[in-house]
Amino acid sequence: MYYTNSRWKKFKNGIQHSNFKLYLVILLILAVIIAFTFANSELISNMISSDKQGQNGEEGSVIPTESATEPTTFISQNYSYFISINKAENFITVYKTKANGERESAFKTFRCSVNPSVSTGTYKTYEKNIWRALSTGGYGQYSTRISSDCYIHSVPYYSQNSNALNINAYNNLGNPAKVGSIYLASADAQWIFENCALDTGVEVYEKSGEAPEIALAEHATLSKNNGYDPTDTSLNITPVPTQINYMTGVNDHSIPLGSVYNMWDGVYAVDKNGNDITSYITVTGSVNTNVTGTYTLIYHLKDNFGTDLAYYSYVTVY
């Protein structure tokens, strides 16, 4: 009996002269937190999912609200555009689409050349490169991949140089392609590259005699001594004379409606010699802070040593 009472006294003294009460309070707080978490697990999951959508790249963009009445330059979620390619008549129609995937009226039409090896069917865009080597030889600019061996790209070039255009391929636009996959004029390939997000739906079909919903402009051929695509906007980008080391500071942002936004905040570039070359950066796109939506800015930087950068920034106005 004495042994039992002694143990009880020691236990009581331990409680009175230790941090037992503090530990008890901590345990109670933890129990409340765990109970709250289980009770609100679905709400927390939805909050995390929404946060990830706002931070991701193209696949995480936010749909603009129905109140947006002004035209914007945003890349919305993956179903904002649909690309339809008539292989028989060699033209591309881009449709705007609704949130449920339903197509609206034709938005743009481009003249193209489709290689006979390209299979008809449905695809989705899933990779982009400013320059890509083509299996048939040469290089395509503003390449958007739709299958393991098929790309939408510019008229082929003999090298990764805007002044090394394949003139015969350019003059052949609107007829079946002999090189590349599906090629367009540089500016048209660039529009798809910059405005059609990853996972955009694509269909390749054949319908002889079909006229494009939006008439195509006349195609002017080039003389043999011309080495560049006259629509190529990269010709207006001044290359860095030294070798690029890095460009940084291009991030995604979420900003309130009506706020002030500076697309250059934190953006800079440095060459291999440690010199500031930020002034050579050019930006495609704009942000209208008075209209909700997700806008795309593309920061371009290239040098004379073969480096050609295009960094994306998605700015969500909410």
Place of tokens 């109670």: 28
Place of tokens 């209209």: 291
Report the topology of domain 78-228: L,D-transpeptidase catalytic domain-like (2.40.440)
Place of tokens 């946060």: 51
Homologous superfamily (CATH) for 244-317: Immunoglobulins (2.60.40.10)
By C-alpha distance, which of 243, 287, 295 is closest to 269? 243
pLDDT tens digits, 173-191: 999 999 999 999 999 999 9
Output DSSP code: residue 44.
Answer: H
Q: Which of 19-28, 117-126, 307-316 has the lowest mean pLDDT?
A: 19-28
β partners of residue 144: 128, 152
What's the rounded Cα separation, in Å, for the pair 310 and 301?
Answer: 7
**Mean pLDDT score, 204-231:** 92
Q: Delimit the CATH 2.60.40.10 region(s) of the chain.
A: 244-317
User: Band of the pLDDT at 63, cuts 50, 70, 90?
Assistant: very low
**Mean pLDDT score, 79-108:** 91
Question: Rounded to the nearest 5°, which phi and psi values hold at 101?
Answer: 90, -5
Residue 11 burial (10 A CB sphere; 0-12, 13-18, 19+): exposed
Q: Which of 135-139, 159-163, 177-181 has the lowest mean pLDDT?
A: 159-163
Asked if the model's pLDDT at residue 171 lies above 60, the reply is: yes
Asked if the model's pLDDT at residue 281 lies above 60, the reply is: yes
Number of helices and strands (H, E) in the chain?
A: 5, 15
Q: Delimit the CATH 2.40.440.10 region(s) of the chain.
A: 78-228
Biggest CA–CA distance in the chain, Å, is: 113
The mean pLDDT value of the chain amounts to: 81
Q: What is the pairing mode between strands 268-271 and 282-284?
A: unpaired
* CB atoms closer than 10 angstroms to residue 215: 7
Chain CA centroid to CA 274, Å? 29
Q: For 56-185, where are the alpha helices, taking DSSP H only?
A: 167-171
Question: Rounded to the nearest 5°, which phi and psi values hold at 156?
Answer: -65, 150
The pLDDT of residue 44: 39
The pLDDT of residue 21: 61
CB 96 within 8 A of CB 166: no
What's the rounded Cα separation, in Å, for the pair 58 and 78?
Answer: 8
User: Band of the pLDDT at 25, cuts 50, 70, 90?
Assistant: low
Buried b or exposed e, range 79-110, using 16+ CB within 10 angstroms: bbbbbbbbbebbbbbbbebeeeeebeeebbbb
pLDDT tens digits, 258-272: 999 999 999 999 999
User: Band of the pLDDT at 253, cuts 50, 70, 90?
Assistant: very high
The pLDDT of residue 247: 96
pTM, full prediction: 0.63
By C-alpha distance, which of 126, 131, 123 is closest to 57? 126
